[in-house]
Amino acid sequence: MEFDLDVEAVSKLMHALSSTSRLKILLALEKDARRLSRLDDLVGISEASLHSHLKILLSLGLVTKELHGQIAYYRITDLGRDILRVVRKMEKIIS
């Protein structure tokens, strides 16, 4: 059966968004790019867990990583912002 939707891609995205930590990361990056050390303070998870979550968000194109010397900064992409707008609409529907 053919669908008018890339169900695999949507499923991967929905799986990524099912993590509260990944949603918190996107929200933390919404206003400004942040260093890893600042992100783990805001999100409240270990640096190792943060790396794992960021790898998923990077692979989906929701965040980017920019190196400034030895320091990595993470920034939300336009796609990540679009996803947060959809998530906020979803929250209104369910509340």
Helix (H) or strand (E) holding 75: strand 71-76
pLDDT at 77: 97
Please enumerate in sequence order all residues whose Cβ is within 8 A of that of 60, keeping only pairs 6 or more positions apart, or say none. 12, 13, 16
pLDDT at 95: 87
The Cα 76–Cα 81 span in angstroms is 7
Q: What is the tens place of the pLDDT at every residue in 41-95? A: 889 999 899 999 999 999 999 999 999 999 999 999 999 999 999 999 999 999 8
Q: Closest by alpha carbon to 29, among 69, 66, 59, 4?
A: 66
Residue 37 predicted with pLDDT over 90:
no
Q: Which domains does the chain have, with CATH numbers?
A: 7-94 (1.10.10.10)
Residue 4 predicted with pLDDT over 80:
yes
Q: Closest by alpha carbon to 32, among 17, 47, 42?
A: 42
